[in-house]
Amino acid sequence: MRPFEGLRVLDLTHVFAGPFCAYQLGVLGAEVIKIEPVSQPDMTRMEGADATLNAQGMGLSFQAQGGGKRALALDLKTEKGREVFDRLVATADVLVQNYTAHAVEELGLGYDRLSALKPDLIYCAISGFGATGPKAAHAAYDVVIQAFTGIMAANGEADSDPVRVGPAMVDYGTGAQAAMAISAALFGRSRTGLGRRIDVSMADCALMLMNSHTATTLATGQAPKPHGNQDPTLAGYATYDTADGQVMIGAFTNAQMANLMHVIGQDARADAILATPRAQISARREEDAAVLAEVLATRTAAEWEDRLNAAHVPAARVRGLAETLGEEQLNTRPMIQSVDNMALAVAGFGFDHGGPSLDHAPRAHGADSRSVLAELGIGHSEFDTLQDQGVVFSPS
């Protein structure tokens, strides 16, 4: 049995952060109902590398965090739509939304109103800057938060302009932290019976994602400078060219650095490193780096990865994502799962007795509208009337 089986989550989110939050709850067993407007589905349904899927409303950007969810198309701008929604809220355990403050008020999605309908509701609002402060009403996407929080300034080479992190790391990091907050709130409810309002800010989450940088800056008033793939103090914590590509080495401790030197045939240098106090290791950086650069260029990156890992030195050949996804290592983990002939990333962890899994592939816009409303006592005739009025939508 998965941990969240028996829980119902209403997912009123779009793009990445919010949908990813609800997705994490779903793979752990929760019934997630994704609620989209009738005439304006989640924009990611039309986004991705496959134009055919985009045209079908099943873009890869949507599929990435759309699996396992039921799909309800409901117009919350109408009185009848809100009546249906209120009945649904009364059956829910969790509600997640990432609408703007203006839309929340317009659509009646505020916590005070909804908690009156379901006092033990766990209500999670995700936004760019949170519910308080002078930027509370400002819209944001991942790249804007990267610029605002200093992530861009912390990324790149020492002499380059700020560089954004390519993948939507802030979005997905925010979704993961929101899911953790909801999990904590559900645990608290199991002990107290009380619901909670959760205010998740992408900007706050971004600062947590670079927590050591944040702590350093708070303590010193100076942000750490970007240094690309070369640590400024540790020669063994860097990327080096090899005979056919690059290898990233993570020899962080003196013992790991000594093992690295043994692997490349520098036994005397390894002994000297072990005798060097940690505070003085940076003085050796340039000399050690020159030796590493010369020797590492003599073999392939794959050879060095195997040799260094065998000596307990963290190292990896620099791969592209497509190559990584073909690695045998991933076949031993539950992270990539196939459902309905579709491969999707499910979770970054696994455990016994009901680990994360997907029940079905992403669903078309409004595909479950009839079945969800039927559970509220709304039969086919009433549903057809609501659909004729534009309140709900079902593709069949």
Give me the active site residues, please: 171
Task: Collect all residues with Cβ–Cβ distance below 8 Å to 200 and sequence separation of at least 6.
Answer: 124, 125, 126, 127, 130, 174, 177, 178, 181
Q: In what order do the strands lie in the sheet containing 237-241?
A: 237-241, 246-250, 315-317
DSSP E strand stretches across 279-368: 315-317, 336-339, 342-345
Q: Around Cβ 374, how many Cβ atoms within 10 Å? A: 14
DSSP E strand stretches across 39-179: 69-74, 94-97, 122-127
Contact between 54 and 42 under an 8 Å Cβ cutoff? The reply is no
d(Cα 358, Cα 342) in Å, to the nearest integer? Answer: 11
Tokens of 83: 């009546």
- In order of 34, 41, 116, the CA distances from 362 in angstroms are 10, 14, 32
